[in-house]
Chains A and B, each alone.
Chain A
Amino acid sequence: MWDYSEKVKDHFFSPRNAKAVEQANATGDVGSISCGDALRLTLKVDPQTEVIEQAGFQTFGCGSAIASSSALTEIIIGKTLDQALTLTNQDIADYLDGLPPEKMHCSVMGMEALHAAIADYRGETIEDDHEEGELICKCFAIDDELIKRVVSQNQLSTLEEVIHYTKAGGACAACHEKIEWVLEECVADYQSAGSVEIATSPASIVERIHRIEAVLNDVRPQLQADGGDVQLSDVEDDMVFLALTGACSGCGLSGATLAMIEQKLSEALGEPITVYPVGSSALSKAPLKVVGGDQ
């Protein structure tokens, strides 16, 4: 059973304002039956003062969805529309003394219903940017859709990069395998997308290394300006192992730097290249066979 706070239980078992407000002049409908929760928020707004005089909810959903709806109505009654618009889903969760991470979307639904109702009152339309995927990182409430978006936008290829860019997997590490699955999917996607650009005659290994060095020489001044540098460690098939040194090593943006280099390498070699970061210490040791990927 979920670890619901007493406040959540109270609002679930004794919901406040569970009704359709009579003579409502604002309605916000959100959710869908396929996702398992849906909410209709009805408001009676004083046209002169824009104060929310009455609020009522009708909710199909789990315990925390009903509790979040109930809490929402309690919070907004008596507020002006502008005051209500400053409300965040975290405020709803805080009002309920917190929600389990898997249930935070219930508070988001409440906030969205409020925005929809206010838009309805003002005759505006709201853009649907609602996307929810499978929850991957429970610590930071990050779903696979967000990870996929960030991975493909930044051409990320390692678990560490995903952690740095999204925070997913940065705490308890329980979701690392799932993040790798998402990564594999994305990498396969943009590799197959890039495969049409593959050059017809593959370059010899010496030629390839020349081209790689040329790309690195191109970007080097940029890195050196920030007190860093990059060195080629190894090349194996479509994998290029690079060491970021100096100020680049440990820099929070190193993932973006490598992605940028990867992009340039792929263009220069006419084939999709995957760049793997190696520690600068690895330069003096035996070449690394596999970094990241399936272990």
Chain B
Amino acid sequence: MNPAKCCNGSKTCEPAYLDNNATTQVDEQVVAAMLPFLTEHYGNPSSIHKFGDPVGKAIEVARTQVQQLIGAEHATEVIFTSCATEATSTAILSAVEAFPERKEIITSVVEHPATLQLCEHLQRKGYTIHWIGVDSKGRIDMEAYQNALSERVAIISLMWANNETGTIFPIRGMAEMAKKHGILFHTDAVQVAGKVPIQVAGSGIDLLSLSGHKFHAPKGIGALYLRRGAKFRPLLRGGHQERGRRAGTENASGIVALGKAAELAVNAMQRESARIAMMRDRLEHGLLARVPCSFVTGDPSQRVPNTSNIAFEYVEGESILLMLNQFNIAASSGSACTSGSLEPSHVMRAMDIPYTAAHGAIRFSLSRYTTEDMIDRVLAELPAIVERLRSISPYWDPEQNCPREQAFEPAYG
């Protein structure tokens, strides 16, 4: 990485990490909690001897901690997995296997690839997928959702909050509606777990996926909530671990870390949410005021407190990120060029964000480690970056500081 050029070059400044929806910094207390399970407590929890005993007990403590984070009725409803993608795959494929006569699935067009691509795969295998659309603010089409409900549907899988915009779906109400048709309801809660309170008990939610590294646990650990009594088939077979619901020797240190991170999140949530939301709003308002032709995507009134997605028209996201990186500022973009595809993010396209803006959508995602200083730095650097990129763009008129009146329309390409 090139040395940061910020702070007038007088000193190297702290990195401003604003990409917490991608992954988060591991909390020191989490590291401290998990370390013994990489060193002294190396036993296999399945063993009968005393080496396995503390490991097995620690796993059960972690299970209770995750239970409390999501407000489950029983700790045994928590199944540890390697990641949220595994949890989501398990949920959907379990329903497909448990209800072979039901050949339809309901999901939305803005899901994470873990859901999208699995459903596309099942579509190729002959399943009918109801792809529920969203409006220009990313709000789900409730009418289409209601119309898709029937006894032919094996499972509904919808994200609780969108990873790109932070927009929250009314999951509780939708889960209630599914009950009337006896449909299993799965929610991908990766972007809400640890950010807003969750109460799955009595919610109508049958399955829920979460990921540790989105709330200060390390990568490689996730969990699937499975409501007691919900029909289930395991994805991984060949062991009694997790009550036969997920075979394979437990990732003990990861599980302990996830438990600790869940406990810390429960404690921090109330205290930190408001502070995080205030910083997010200051960043958002500040950027909109300083940069012409920019707007917020998604639904600001129904949003997780840490996420802001702002589209800067007539500039391309990757260029912005590369320049922010020079200032030691980390954010992310749904632009086509950061992913290597030619289409901008499916979430931006689903909301019908014009191409002029979709390529320049930048996501800022905060955490409890975010400081006011980091927000100031973005406010100080980003407007000039956008201005500089616009000044070399054929779509922009630098003299008037607005899009060219005579639109740039290439003859071919």
Does B393 interact with chain A (Cβ within 8 Å)?
yes
B393 touches A1 (CB 8 A): no
B322 touches A38 (CB 8 A): no
Assess A13 versus B316: contact at CB under 8 Å? Given A33-B356, A38-B410, A66-B392. Answer: no
Does A18 interact with chain B (Cβ within 8 Å)?
yes
Name the prevailing secondary structure of the B interface residues: loop
B413 touches A60 (CB 8 A): no
Does B337 interact with chain A (Cβ within 8 Å)?
yes
A59 CB contact (under 8 Å) in B341, B355, B356, B392: B392
B residues in contact with A38, CB < 8 Å: 394-395, 408, 410, 413
Determine the residue in chain B with the shortest Cβ distance to A115: B412
Assess A60 versus B394: contact at CB under 8 Å? Given A33-B355, A37-B316. Answer: yes
Q: Which A residues, 1 to 33, have Cβ-Cβ distances below 8 Å to chain B?
A: 1-2, 9, 12-13, 15, 18-19, 29-33
Does A39 interact with chain B (Cβ within 8 Å)?
yes
Does B315 interact with chain A (Cβ within 8 Å)?
yes
How long is the Cα–Cα vector from A15 to B323 in the complex, in angstroms?
13
Determine the residue in chain B with the shortest Cβ distance to A4: B322
B412 touches A30 (CB 8 A): yes
Does B319 interact with chain A (Cβ within 8 Å)?
yes
B124 touches A184 (CB 8 A): yes
How long is the Cα–Cα vector from A167 to B340 in the complex, in angstroms?
20
B413 touches A62 (CB 8 A): no
A36 CB contact (under 8 Å) in B342, B393, B412: B342
B residues in contact with A102, CB < 8 Å: 340
Chain B 318-345: CB-based contact to A (< 8 A → 1; otherwise 0)? 1100110110000000011110111010
Determine the residue in chain A with the shortest Cβ distance to B359: A36
B124 touches A29 (CB 8 A): no
Chain A 102-123: CB-based contact to B (< 8 A → 1; otherwise 0)? 1101000100100010000000
Does A40 interact with chain B (Cβ within 8 Å)?
yes
Does A35 interact with chain B (Cβ within 8 Å)?
yes
A residues in contact with B408, CB < 8 Å: 29, 38, 40
A128 touches B412 (CB 8 A): yes
Does A200 interact with chain B (Cβ within 8 Å)?
no
Instruction: Give the bracket for the number of chain B residues in contact with chain A.
Output: 20 to 34
Assess A60 versus B409: contact at CB under 8 Å? Given A1-B325, A33-B356, A135-B341. Answer: no
Name the prevailing secondary structure of the A interface residues: mixed
Does A126 interact with chain B (Cβ within 8 Å)?
yes
B392 touches A15 (CB 8 A): yes
B residues in contact with A184, CB < 8 Å: 124
Of B326, B391, B410, B413, most buried by chain A (CB within 10 Å of CB) is: B413
Does A65 interact with chain B (Cβ within 8 Å)?
yes
Q: How far is the CB of A40 from chain B (nearest CB, A)?
A: 4
A-B interface pairs (CB < 8 A), number: 113
Does A63 interact with chain B (Cβ within 8 Å)?
yes
B residues in contact with A37, CB < 8 Å: 316, 337
B393 touches A60 (CB 8 A): yes
How long is the Cα–Cα vector from A13 to B52 in the complex, in angstroms?
56
Number of interface residues of A (CB under 8 A): 46
Does B411 interact with chain A (Cβ within 8 Å)?
yes
A62 touches B319 (CB 8 A): yes
Assess A62 versus B337: contact at CB under 8 Å? Given A29-B394, A38-B394, A132-B342. Answer: yes
Q: Which B residues, 336 to 392, have Cβ-Cβ distances below 8 Å to chain A?
A: 336-338, 340-342, 344, 355-356, 359, 391-392
Does A181 interact with chain B (Cβ within 8 Å)?
yes
Determine the residue in chain B with the shortest Cβ distance to A66: B319
A residues in contact with B80, CB < 8 Å: none
B322 touches A35 (CB 8 A): no
List chain B positions with a Cβ less than 8 A from chain A: 2, 124, 314-319, 322-323, 325-326, 335-338, 340-342, 344, 355-356, 359, 391-395, 408-413
Question: Which 6 residue pairs of A and B lie closest in terms of their CB atoms, listed nearest first?
Answer: A62-B337, A102-B340, A128-B412, A30-B413, A62-B318, A29-B410
Known: A1-B325, A37-B316, A62-B318. 14 other contacts (CB 8 A): A2-B318, A15-B392, A29-B411, A30-B410, A31-B410, A36-B336, A38-B395, A38-B408, A61-B316, A61-B319, A62-B316, A62-B319, A62-B337, A65-B337
Complex A-B: 7 CB contacts under 8 Å = A13-B326, A36-B344, A38-B410, A58-B392, A58-B393, A63-B322, A65-B316
List chain A positions with a Cβ less than 8 A from chain B: 1-2, 9, 12-13, 15, 18-19, 29-40, 57-66, 100, 102-103, 105, 109, 112, 116, 126, 128, 130, 132-135, 181, 184
